[in-house]
């Protein structure tokens, strides 16, 4: 499922979008609706959305103001607006679509489908890159983790998994340590994915070499070397199975 947030102060637009997604986009799950920046930012960080449908008009500013709070958004954006002239500015924010009100159903569905295709394609690229990187791993890589009181130099090979909690990241090490740093997980994601790690959930990255087995119950869990059961998102399940089969 594509986890989706609708952010707009326009109740009519929210009703129309919700109906279209419910009736015509079964792979899209609406996880929250918000009309103001403060709540919307909280919702995005809390729910780790894949897709944000964002109005240029909010009750306390604009959609552009909201995006300024995210240095490198890890979600796809579809803008909706009454004003066609904002379209160029929207694409400066790497929006995948710009839908002018009143919202036309087929135009909106086409835009959502384009966003879904982009999200799924990015995941396939990540999977292929991981397979390639795992075959080429030959030496231990270090990761520097800074807490308020300590600086840790950790061999990536010893990291079991990383868990996101808003703007914090927890690193679980095979010697029993749990190192919490005040940076979001996406700050480390590129480096980790290039060194044998795989993102199985918006909030979890695991070290494939620390995996014991994949448990298919309840949607799927990765059982790690320390015994922890880490949930696999429903959208990642097929990629996880394909990855494990490629490692035979």
**What backbone torsions phi and psi does residue 159 show, to the nearest 5 degrees?**
-80, 125
How confident is the model over 92-116, as pLDDT tens digits?
888 999 999 999 999 999 999 999 9
Can you tell me which residue has the tokens 């590129």?
190
Domains parsed from the chain with CATH numbers: 2-127 (3.40.50.2300), 137-246 (2.40.50.1020)
The partner residues of 170 in beta bridges, in order of sequence, read: 163, 180
Q: Which of 179, 186, 230 is nearest to 208 (CA)?
A: 230
pLDDT of residue 45: 82
How confident is the model over 149-190, as pLDDT tens digits?
899 989 999 999 999 998 899 999 999 999 999 999 988 998
How far is CA 136 from each of CA 140, 190, 191, 207, 211, rounded to the nearest angstrom? 12, 16, 15, 15, 19
Tokens found for residue 17: 């979008």
Residue 125's H or E segment, with its range, is helix 105-136
The alpha carbon of 227 is separated from its chain's Cα centroid by a whole number of angstroms, namely 25
Confidence category of residue 206, pLDDT binned at 50, 70, 90? very high
Average pLDDT on 228-244 reads: 84
Q: Taking 80 as the threshold, does the pLDDT of residue 124 lie above it?
A: no
How does the average pLDDT of the chain come out, rounded?
88
How confident is the model over 15-50, as pLDDT tens digits?
999 999 999 999 999 999 999 888 998 888 887 789
Average pLDDT on 61-84 reads: 89
Confidence category of residue 131, pLDDT binned at 50, 70, 90? low
Q: Which of 5, 52, 1 is nearest to 238 (CA)?
A: 1
Q: Taking 80 as the threshold, does the pLDDT of residue 126 lie above it?
A: no
The alpha carbon of 217 is separated from its chain's Cα centroid by a whole number of angstroms, namely 23
Residue 171's H or E segment, with its range, is strand 168-173
């Amino acid at each position: 499922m594509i986890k989706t947030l609708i952010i707009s102060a326009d109740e009519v637009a929210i009703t129309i979008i919700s109906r279209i997604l419910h009736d015509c986009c079964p792979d899209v799950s609406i996880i929250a609706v918000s009309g103001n920046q403060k709540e919307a930012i909280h919702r995005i960080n809390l729910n780790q959305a894949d897709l944000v449908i964002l109005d240029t008009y909010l009750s306390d500013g604009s959609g552009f103001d909201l995006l300024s709070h995210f240095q490198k958004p890890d979600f796809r954006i579809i803008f909706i607006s009454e004003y066609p002239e904002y379209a160029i500015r929207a694409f400066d924010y790497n929006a995948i679509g710009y839908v002018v009100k009143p919202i036309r159903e087929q135009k909106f569905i086409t835009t959502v489908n384009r966003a879904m295709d982009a999200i799924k394609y990015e995941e396939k690229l990540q999977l292929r890159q991981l397979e390639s990187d795992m075959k080429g791993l030959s030496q231990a890589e270090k990761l520097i983790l800074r807490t308020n009181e300590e600086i840790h130099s950790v061999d990536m090979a010893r990291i079991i998994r990383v868990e996101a909690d808003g703007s914090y990241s927890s690193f679980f090490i095979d010697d029993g340590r749990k190192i919490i740093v005040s940076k979001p997980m996406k700050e480390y994601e590129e480096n980790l994915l290039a060194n044998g790690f795989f993102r199985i959930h918006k909030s979890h990255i695991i070290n494939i070499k620390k995996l014991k087995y994949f448990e298919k119950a309840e949607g799927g869990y990765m059982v790690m070397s320390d015994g922890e059961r880490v949930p696999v998102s429903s959208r990642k399940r097929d990629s996880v199975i394909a990855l494990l089969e490629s490692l035979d």
